[in-house]
Amino acid sequence: MKRYLTAFFIALSGIILLIGLRTDFQWNGIVSWGLSFISLLFAAYYTKYIPNEKKSKKS
């Protein structure tokens, strides 16, 4: 289940940017880009749970 979190957080980042940049209120850009950056950091963290096919073929 953890290997799918990378794709989930990348998609969440895109959704945050789409919704955040379409609304109009004060500090909106900073908030939406900040949340997007945090979700991309989580996506990068969970890439370590994606299986490596080269390792499994050697065994």
Q: What is the pTM of this model?
A: 0.79
**Interval 5-14: pLDDT, tens:** 999 999 999 9
What's the pLDDT score for residue 56? 61
Report the 10 Å Cβ neighbour count for 32.
19
pLDDT of residue 36: 96
| pLDDT value of position 58 | 64
Model confidence over 17-59: pLDDT tens digits?
A: 999 989 888 888 899 999 999 999 999 999 888 888 876 666 5
Task: Specify whether the backbone of 51 is left (phi greater than 0), alpha (psi in -120 to 50) or beta.
Answer: beta
Rounded Cα gap, residues 52 and 31, in angstroms: 35
Query: What are the domain boundaries of the chain?
Result: 2-58
Smallest Cα–Cα separation from 5: which of 53, 49, 38?
A: 49
